[in-house]
Amino acid sequence: MTSTILITGATAGIGAASARLFVHNGWRVIATGRRGDRLRALQDELGDALLPLELDMRDTESLLRLGELGGEWGEIDLLLNNAGLAPPTDALQDADYPKLETSIQTNVTGLVALTRSLLPGIIRRKGAVINLSSVAATYPYRGGAVYAGTKAFVRQFSLDLRCDLAGTGVRVTSIEPGMAETEFTLVRTGGDQAASDSLYAGVEPMTAEDIADTIWWIATLPPHLNINTIELMPTRQSFAGFTVSRTDQA
């Protein structure tokens, strides 16, 4: 029987790479995102196994209605909560509030609404939920307070959801990547290609396909195995130390 995955944020990066991988392996993919032209291009590329669905993760009402999606596309086995973005790395005291709110609405509120909406069906099908958190959930850095906070939420939400789902057979995983070269930094910097290129230059960052391969591996493990959390980094990314201030700033 054909399995179905719903992927949020399938118009770019990790979501698009996952859509390709799952269709190539015989799954049906419901591909969501705001950019309808990209979703239609993906359908042209991958064919009728992909259903394009324009969806803004800030539109809670639409997310809550998705659980009523009927017919063959309504039988969702795997929810990949991937859509997300980061505000610029300004310190909070200097940050543009609307950009912070967009990240919270997309990464947290939308993720919760969609999961709530699809969960009864996923429970009936003994399916799975895979959530994209980040290393930012664990390792603080300057300018990361809101983005990291959203990703720490995603991690803890994933772990606690396992408690709610005990005995249902539904699996939940938090994937926590470090630097993967996608449109992530382009979006974070407001479209600064040079800033994105210089961040990843010489790092040999992970690719969207590396993360999609990890998602595929988790999705196809035997049903008795649950990966709770998994953290990945490029070999050339590691950890910084603490910040110490010797004088107070005026």
Return residues touching ligand 8X3 (CB under 6 A). Answer: 134-136, 178-179
Determine if 57 is a binding residue for ligand NDP (CB under 6 A): yes
Task: Find all residues with CB under 8 Å of 113, minimum gap 6, and list them.
Answer: 60, 63, 64
Catalytic residue among 139, 141, 147, 200: 147
Determine if 180 is a binding residue for ligand NDP (CB under 6 A): yes
Whole-number Å distance between alpha carbons of 195 and 106: 23
For the bound state, the minimum distance from the C-beta of residue 165 to ligand 8X3, rounded and expressed in Å, comes to 25
Active site residue 139: no
Residue 84 binds which entry of ligand NDP, ligand 8X3, none, CB below 5-8 Å type-dependent: ligand NDP
What are 179's two structure tokens?
């630097």
User: Which C-beta is closer to ligand 8X3: that of 59 or that of 183?
Assistant: 183
Rounded to whole angstroms, the maximal C-alpha distance in the chain is 65
For the bound state, the minimum distance from the C-beta of residue 176 to ligand 8X3, rounded and expressed in Å, comes to 8
**Interior angle at CA 58, CA 45 and CA 216, nearest 5:** 45
Cα–Cα nearest to 129, from 168, 80, 162 = 80
User: Which C-beta is closer to ligand NDP: that of 61 or that of 72?
Assistant: 61
User: Which C-beta is closer to ligand NDP: that of 153 or that of 184?
Assistant: 184
User: Which C-beta is closer to ligand 8X3: that of 32 or that of 133?
Assistant: 133
For the bound state, the minimum distance from the C-beta of residue 26 to ligand NDP, rounded and expressed in Å, comes to 23
Distance of CA 122 to the CA centre of its chain: 18
Whole-number Å distance between alpha carbons of 193 and 22: 29
Contacting residue, 4, 9, 22, 146, with ligand NDP by CB under 6 A: 9
What are 89's two structure tokens?
């790395």
Contacting residue, 132, 137, 146, 215, with ligand NDP by CB under 6 A: 132
DSSP alpha helices (H): ranges in 7-137? 13-24, 36-46, 60-65, 97-104, 110-124
Determine if 12 is a binding residue for ligand NDP (CB under 6 A): yes
Indicate which residues carry an active-site annotation: 147
